[in-house]
Every structure is written in structure tokens, then in C-alpha cells.
Amino acid sequence: MIIKPYTHWFGLIVVLIGLLLPVHVFASIFVVVHPDRDINNISPVQVANIFLGKTKRLSNGGLIIPVDQSRDSHTRNEFYSKLLNKNENQMNVYWARQVFTGRSQPPVQVTNCNEVRLLIKDNPTFIGYIHSDCNDIGIKVILRIP
Amino acid sequence: MPLADLINTFIAIIMRYHKLYSRWLITCLLLLPAVSYSDTSSDEVGSESFKPSFNKPRSDLHINGFLTVGVNHADPEVTSTNESYRSDLSFDTKAILGLQATYQLTSKFNVTGQIVSKADKDWGLDTDLDWAFFRYHLTDDLTFRAGRLRLPLYFFSESAEVGFSYPWVTPPSEVYVVPLFDYEGADFLYSMPTGDWIHQLQVFGGSVDTEILKASTTYGINLTSSSGPWTYRASFLEVNDAELNYPTFPQLESSFDIWDAIDYYAAAAIYDDGDWLLISELSVLDTGSSTVLFGKNSGYITIGKYIDHWLPYFSYGKSYTTNEAPSQVLFELPVEFPPFSIPVYSDILEFTTTSYSLGLRYNLNANTSVKFQWSHFTDFDGTGGRFFNLRFSNSTTDVDSVDTFALVIDMVF
């Protein structure tokens, strides 16, 4: 069987492009709450307001407490980078002003997305974020940050 | 029972500061801690199930601190209200260490103390307990604080000593020339969301008792509204029944009734989208009918661009005195030999200054930044600008520009 040379090259190029595309292009961050919460979507600005400690309320008035991931977590840096376009130092500038003027303390932290899920699954007052690769069984996604 | 004592102390302090004589209000306040106590206990039961999954158990005690070490230099040497620059390279004018502890007693009640140590000239240590207050969450949107707090006059007034919390080496001196006054009193912080916007209202009142200023009634209100990259703030502050003690001129204290009331009005706008940073503040000081203390208008605008770990910025600022009264003799300055006295006229209080600053902030890591800033102050119109040593000396008219340089490392932990 004779294979025309240009078909060879075409196939090879397709495979190479496929290899070059990084997997995380399709990754995103999910903002998650307990399935019983009477909220199905939320705006990125409202998520930011909650995680910056500016409000403890959802737009429907319900009480909500943010759960952060640990400082060395990639998901955390990705979350704040996508949500506010800020790196860790820029986030700390904000928190320095809050903490040293006695306004508020940063949200409580857990180590990984599975802990976020376990915490929220059992407790409807929390809001968290997980990487889209993480298991989201038992929790509800209300915002996808691409 | 300690909780009952706490509630009693809390109510005693409220009554002392706010003179709440009406019985129904006190009854409401008595009921609030009782309600919150039952909330807290149910929270704690619920939290047992997830506590082991935390990296660290939720701590009741937060210890934080900040540190600034740096060097500055000016040509010529200048002094002002909060800062001094010498003509040599001085390390002692910039060093600050702050330590803060916050202890969470219940989910609604916490106490905070903050100690700030600053190096004086020649490394004498100037240490103050700048913040000491308790905080109580009356509702989820309303908190009450009482104790020793800092006057929230401008956007960065309360964190002016925490270098890490702003882009500059020091906040623009045109506006932040006011001494950092602590007060003893109380404030209410109320937060209200409307759509994507959050409005935060602060109402405060108390008394100031420092070496420079004693004022029995000081109060004010401010509103901060923010959404996404935008933050706006409007602020008002009134100082009443004040006694001023100019350390440079003790004669002023006794010879004049300085003022009845002075009012500060301030507005701030901030845009920070993580790429660009824009900060602008305007301030008006209204000294009413005082013939000694002049009013002042001031403002600045800063523009900066985040480039990876770098933040280069430029600032323009202006400040000048207003409602200048006709020239009069403030006091006679005695001279020992030959014995005579020099009359000091109120003209020395007049000034005008324009400034241009270029700076660069570099983030070494998440908690540490290095900053360099060059400021050029000019257009004094023979007044000596806002620098005391130039205004109160004979060489006033000769100097029309001052350059200051500063290099600092700021960190928080």
C-alpha cells in the first residue's frame, strides 16, 4: 500500500499540535456551595466581595462564610489571579490594610480541594473554590471561572 | 461567669461613651449577647465534625506584625509633621516595627492590641500602644468597636505606618501631613451590599489626648463604596474644644484661643485592576473663623503600572493654605543677647507646595517589598513650602525646591 508523503506530514503535524497544546488550557476554577443553598449562580465581583471579607451575604441576603485554600496552593493563586488579576503580594497588600486597621482577618484555610468539598458537603454556610479537575460530588458549582 | 462579666463591661463602656440612657436600648443590648451566645455554642458543636480536616485547627489567636527598615536623604534638610529628612544618609528616620495580637473570645467578640515602635532621631525608641480595642459583632453586617483607635481621616490614615499596605515609601505628604492621631472612643462599622457594590459606613466619636493635640470631642463619618477594581470614599471629621501645643512654639499654646471647631472633608477614588493602579485623594481643612490656624486645600494623584513583580509609579501633589487672615503678631520670640524680642507674624503659617514623585516598588516575595522614591517639592512662592524648618527660618525665601530620596524594605508577617 502506497501512502502519499504529504498525508504522513499532515498526520505528524496534527499530533505535534496536539502535544503542544497544554492540558490546562481547558482547566478552570469552580466556585462551590452546599447543594441545598438557594443560589444557582453568582457574579465574579460578588465572589470577590465575599473572599475579600467585604460582605458576609449573598445577593439573596443569605449568610455565607468563605473557605480559602492554603497559601502554597496553585489553585489559590490561580483563583485570585483569574478573579482579581492579583498575585500573592498584591493580595497581601489588601490584607495588610484590613488586618492592621483591625477590620478583618483573611478567610480560614484548608489544604486542598478535597477538604473544601468535605467541609462544604457537611456545612451549608460555606463557600469555596476548587480546581475543575477535582471531585465535586456532594457540592454545587455556582460559577465557572475559565 | 466570665461571659456575664464581659457583657457587663461591654454595657458599661457603651454607656460611658454613648450615654445611652433610654431603657429599651439597654434592654436590646442585654439581649444581643444572650442570643449570640446560643449561636456560638451551636456553631461550635457543628464545627467538631470538620475540624480534623483543617490543616491547622482554627486558631483563636492571631499574631501579626509589620516591619520597615530604610534609609533616606534630603537636599536641603527638611522636617515636617510626620517625617524628617536629614542631609546625611539616615537610617533612624524610617525604622518601624509593629506587632498586633487579636484574640477571638467568641465568634462575635474579639480583642485587639497593636504596639508600634518607631526609631527616633539617633535611635531613641518611641513605642506606643496605638490600637487597643474590643470588637463586637452586633449583627452580621454591623460591628461595634471601643477602646483606643486611630482617626480614620483619609483612606490610608489607619494603616499609614504599615508601609507594605500602600505603593509609596510614605503616603503623599500633601494630604497625609496631618499627625496620626489616636483617639479613645468607639465606632460602628456597617456593611451593605447592593448588587455588585459594597457600601461600608463608619461612624465614630471620642476624644484625642496627645502631646500636640487635646480635643474632648472628635467625631466623624465616612462611606466607602467598592466594586471590582473601583473604590470610592468620602469622609468627614470634626475636632471640637481643642487645645493645640506646637512643640516648636510653646508660646502659641497659651497666647491664643486656637479655634472653636475645625472640619476636615476628604474624598478618595482608587482604581486597581491588577495591571494599572490609580489613586487620588482631595482634602479640605476648614478652620472656620480662626485667625491663627489657616485652612488648607490639598490633593494628589498617583498612577502606577504593575509589570510582573515591579510597580513603577508617578505622583503629583499640591497643597496650600486658604482663608489667610491679615498679618498679625503671633507672639514675641525672645532673644537672649542682646536682650530684645523678635515679633513672629502669622505669615509664617502660610504656605504653598507642589510635588512630583517618581517611585518603584519591587516585590521580593509575597510578604516583602523594596521601594525607592524620589520626590521633588517646588513652587514655594517664598513660603518655605510645607516644611517647618524652612518656614520658620530666615532663609525661607531663598529655597524654592527640595529633593528627598528614600529606599525602604517593607514586610508583613
> How many domains are there within chain A?
1
CB contact under 8 A, A71 and B191: no
What is the separation of C-alpha A145 from the centre of its chain, rounded to a whole number of angstroms?
Answer: 7
Are B210 and B95 members of one domain? yes
Tens digits of residue pLDDT in B83-134:
777 877 888 777 899 999 999 999 899 999 999 998 877 777 888 898 999 9
Across A72-88, average pLDDT: 94
Q: From CA A121, how far away is CA B98, in angstroms rounded?
A: 40
Q: Considering the domain boundaries, does residue A97 fall inside one?
A: yes
A135-144, B212-221, B230-239: range with lowest mean pLDDT: B212-221
CB contact under 8 A, B62 and A105: yes
ipTM of the complex: 0.81
Q: Considering the domain boundaries, does residue A18 fall inside one?
A: no
Across B202-212, average pLDDT: 88
Q: From CA B292, how far away is CA B298, in angstroms rounded?
A: 19
Give Dmax over CA atoms of chain A in angstroms. Answer: 78
Main-chain phi, psi angles of A144, to 5 degrees: -110, 120
Contacts A54 to B, Cβ<8 Å? 191, 193, 198, 200, 226
| DSSP assignment letter at B285 | E
Q: From CA A33, how far away is CA B22, in angstroms rounded?
A: 43
CATH number for the domain that contains residue A113:
3.40.190.10
Are B77 and B200 members of one domain? yes
Are B133 and B36 members of one domain? no
Are B33 and B95 members of one domain? no
CB contact under 8 A, B64 and A100: yes
CB contact under 8 A, A92 and B164: yes
Are B176 and B249 members of one domain? yes
Q: Considering the domain boundaries, does residue A44 fall inside one?
A: yes
Q: Considering the domain boundaries, does residue A114 fall inside one?
A: yes
Q: Considering the domain boundaries, does residue A3 fall inside one?
A: no
Main-chain phi, psi angles of B380, to 5 degrees: -80, -15
Half-sphere exposure of B9 (CA within 13 A, CB side): 13
Supply the range of the domain harboring residue B5.
Answer: 1-50
Judged against a pLDDT cut of 80, whether residue B142 lies above it is answered with: yes
> How many domains are there within chain B?
2
B165 closest CB neighbour out of A93, A109, A111: A93
Q: Considering the domain boundaries, does residue A48 fall inside one?
A: yes
Q: Considering the domain boundaries, does residue B55 fall inside one?
A: no
Q: Considering the domain boundaries, does residue B118 fall inside one?
A: yes
Question: What count of CB pairs under 8 Å joins A to B?
Answer: 116
Are B145 and B255 members of one domain? yes
Are B14 and B84 members of one domain? no
Q: Considering the domain boundaries, does residue B57 fall inside one?
A: no
Are B94 and B7 members of one domain? no
What is the separation of C-alpha A33 from the centre of its chain, rounded to a whole number of angstroms?
Answer: 12
Main-chain phi, psi angles of B10, to 5 degrees: -55, -50
Q: Considering the domain boundaries, does residue B81 fall inside one?
A: yes
Q: Considering the domain boundaries, does residue B56 fall inside one?
A: no
**Dihedral over Cα of B388, B394, B397, B401: its sign:** negative
Are B121 and B31 members of one domain? no
Mutation site, B39, B42, B55, interface A, largest A CB count within 10 A: B55
Q: What is the percent of chain B where pLDDT is above 70?
A: 75
Q: Considering the domain boundaries, does residue A124 fall inside one?
A: yes
Q: From CA B120, how far away is CA B79, in angstroms rounded?
A: 13
Are B46 and B137 members of one domain? no
Contacts A102 to B, Cβ<8 Å? 102, 112, 114, 131, 133, 135, 145, 149
Supply the range of the domain harboring residue A42.
Answer: 27-145
CATH number for the domain that contains residue B309:
2.40.160.10
Contacts B133 to A, Cβ<8 Å? 102
Are B39 and B122 members of one domain? no
**Partner residues linked to B333 by β-bridges:** B342
List, in order, residues 6 or more apart from B47 with CB less than 8 Å away. Answer: B58
Are B43 and B68 members of one domain? no
